[in-house]
Structure 1
């Protein structure tokens, strides 16, 4: 299953980097290229989940119990940051890469509470990928900061963050991973 996990990671990273590493090839594909990339990303995600869920547990380190609290706080922050990318509120434009920053926070949060090899491979690779993606984007394009919007939209973002966090918690519980110490 480690091979499936690694193949998924490679496909995810390759599909995301395709536009930046082979811009001419991607441009020549036209709109079909978007579909190819989308299929590659989706296939990579499926393989990562399948490989991670089926991977043998190989203990590397034992995270301290209190890290669960830090993980939960970081996950709440990650959900908020991810949502910032779609907000039209005052927070719009405060951060250049809110989605990729959210992925980095998500990865660090999970590395703090998972000490097995499959987790280190999955979350560590996503942390490295998101950092590399930010670096590639920053080098390729100048950022034009959007104008801030209505502050009521930021309140909506907080509400949506709490709802999405509750849904994610329920999904983790349904999968047998209770995210709160008890």
Structure 2
């Protein structure tokens, strides 16, 4: 049991860090002091730091095989992660009154929803894709728990935020803002140069940092 303590502790901290900062009264209190953009930036940095610890802790947990280690599964992250990076980058670049806010300068225009046409919840959608791909590529118990929880957390979070926003905005205003959006529809992906370049940079950075941070080369050759 002692071998699992770091993983369990990291998992608990991650869940708590995603429960309290996004719920009242903590979220309005933080936004009042940090501003919307400051809140999103601080929350993102905190999430990434705790996420990094959790991933490292999972890699240190005892290995108990659960899923077959098929060669084709090792390609899943390399195929899916560029798409996840594009969704996350595109979502952060715009304002988003239907989810976590975003950091764009222009107010959200429901007639030109941008990445929200693909998903109202870009960060959660990116997390779900990341988790599903890495669950296939890692078949041990710790990683199945880790990525299975992330995928479930992301998908349930989309539904919970939709309901919460409908209550806070009112059904009429929510429908007006959400008319051109989707919970998740990859067929509506908008493609423009700047998000593509930024997403490529993020993906390349993740590849380069994977071995020094995680201790594993993500390339299957």
TM-score class, shorter? 0.7 to 0.9
Q: Aligned to 1:106, which of 119, 130, 133? A: 130
Structure-2 change in CA distance of 1:28 and 1:159 (3 Å): closer
Number of residue pairs matched by the alignment: 174
Structure 2 unaligned regions, length at least 5: 95-111, 167-173, 181-190
Q: Describe the shift of the 1:162–1:177 C-alpha distance in structure 2 as closer, same or farther (beyond 3 A).
A: same
Alignment CA distance shift 1:91-1:116 (3 Å): same
| Structure 1 position 161 matched with structure 2 position 199 | yes
Kindly report which structure 2 residues correspond to 1:14-93, keeping only aligned pairs within 5 A, or say none: 14-18=16-20, 23-24=24-25, 31=33, 41=47, 44-45=50-51, 47-88=53-94, 91-93=114-116
Map 1:94-173 onto structure 2 (within 5 A): 94=117, 95-142=119-166, 143=174, 144-145=177-178, 154-173=192-211
CA contact (8 A) 2:76 2:134 kept: no
Q: How high is the TM-score relative to the length of structure 2?
A: 0.65
Report the Cα distance in structure 1 between the residues aligned to 2:84 and 2:219, rounded to whole angstroms. 17
Secondary structure, aligned partner of 2:71: coil
Most deviating of 47-56 and 121-130: 47-56
Moved more, 114-123 or 11-20: 11-20
Shift in Å at residue 16 of structure 1?
A: 1.6
Q: 1:146 to 1:65 in 2, by over 3 A?
A: same
41-50 or 56-65: bigger deviation? 41-50
**CA–CA distance in 2 between the matches of 1:156 and 1:173?**
27
Please report the RMSD computed on the Cα atoms of aligned residues, expressed in angstroms: 3.2
The offset of 1:15, in angstroms, is: 2.6
Displacement of 1:92: 3.6
Query: What's the offset of the Cα at 1:11?
Result: 2.2
Give the structure-1-normalised TM-score. Answer: 0.77
